[in-house]
Structure 1
């Protein structure tokens, strides 16, 4: 098929080309609602410092100036869960060895159950797991089971890829390039975030659009770009 025969489907691009100069009018109110989920699930002050350092409330509003208050809540909540998960993973290091595989597998299985509202959190559960329950409830309140299903699938792949990375660290192995290329985009957490776009901006989408080969390719390339750039910038600079 010639290149000029390709018909790109129409899709609203909600992402600003520049960082918004004006704060989101609902950011502070939504931020208070999101951060209210922290006290009951806080395990340390590390997550508080992270939230403050990245200016979660203000920056999220500026990155998504066209989002609804409900959509802003969803994306802030996911960001908080993501940072909380990173805090949990890093806090499990013992003499530079990651958490035991059995512990990570158990927590990740319960994480999906928490999102499905199929289990009650316990005092031993990490903060990110506890926050997945109200997050899942908030998603289902939109009445978009198609988006919820796509997010859950992306979340499952994210957790599986995280377990893959932990196993590599535990064994001290470097993945093959082909394996890294295929799995790193899932481990980055970008794909679950992208799947939230229809809720963040109240977009009417359907499976035909989201499963279009060009849209799927663009999503994969977006995730590759962001995750590869993050990895490159994380390398130690040797003078």
Structure 2
């Protein structure tokens, strides 16, 4: 299968990570790999083989944090990578391995753990990693209440039951279904919640849930997710997956693959412009962007910048 030619996309957001490394990058990476080995000796090798760019890229997601906070961020990221690969695992014939009941059983374990429980015998290694992640976040966060973060992680997990159902049927979802569901399966919103804890930011729920602020965060999340979809399309075509914005647009519009790539690229540009427009109008809408809200939105923008610039470089998607 001939790979699609994918465009370069300009990044309008500050990209400090391009010239700055986290001073604890190496230590936190080594500590993470030790933790993974303690959970399951096969996990570190699995992470490395699957092209998860821990030290090179992930450690730059949380510049300006302590080593402990960086470790919490890395644990969350790697959990999401491993979870996605677990859900999407296929056998030698290309058939999906996971069943709905397996996912539901794991999500019951995750609900228990995110609510403060401990892993039980028979829980997956993913559950043990989630337990350590929750404990690490609580250790570094000045905010003891992590219910909003826990809910966001649970929504990410639960949405994969829908994704598995669609994939098992071999269907391409409609665009009107795909976009809102991908907002959850994409796993970006939990990281916006996580930043509040790792950077000690106090943004009240009434501000986070303000329709305009919520729209900004969802637009940013869509942008990051669609960029991921765009640059992973060659990998997912090889694997036979249709759970991707480009594949959805191709089916929706009955167009060619290159035309679907162009349509996805246009959506990314539109999301970028929409974000910048609303971001610049916050004071006109009566929203005070000083203090921790400004710092939080800057973190959201740093995430978008890292996604726009580094996703095309990721070995996981075939970059070299």
Structural RMSD (CA): 2.3
Distance 1:24 1:158 in 2: 28
Q: CA deviation at 1:154?
A: 0.7
Q: Which residue does 1:193 correspond to in 2?
A: 191
Q: Structure 1 regions of 5+ residues with no counterpart?
A: 1-14
* TM-score, length basis structure 2: 0.62
Distance 2:91 2:212 in 1: 40
Q: Structure 2 regions of 5+ residues with no counterpart?
A: 1-12, 238-256, 259-320
Q: CA deviation at 1:139?
A: 2.0
Aligned length: 221
Asked if the contact 1:47/1:87 (under 8 Å) is kept, the reply is no
Asked if the contact 2:52/2:78 (under 8 Å) is kept, the reply is no
Q: Which residue does 1:49 correspond to in 2?
A: 49
Q: Which residue does 1:174 correspond to in 2?
A: 172
Q: Does 1:135 align with 2:138?
A: no
The aligned runs of 1:82-121 (5 Å cut-off) are 82-91=80-89, 93=91, 95-98=93-96, 99-121=98-120
Q: CA deviation at 1:34?
A: 2.1
Asked if the contact 1:16/1:63 (under 8 Å) is kept, the reply is no
Distance 1:121 1:83 in 2: 22
Q: Which residue does 1:6 correspond to in 2?
A: none
After superposition, the Cα gap between the structure-2 partners of 1:174 and 1:76, relative to the gap in structure 1 and judged at 3 Å, is same
Q: Does 1:125 align with 2:143?
A: no
Q: Secondary structure at the match of 2:36?
A: coil
The aligned runs of 1:73-88 (5 Å cut-off) are 73-88=71-86
Q: CA deviation at 1:93?
A: 4.3
More helix by share: 2
After superposition, the Cα gap between the structure-2 partners of 1:138 and 1:63, relative to the gap in structure 1 and judged at 3 Å, is closer
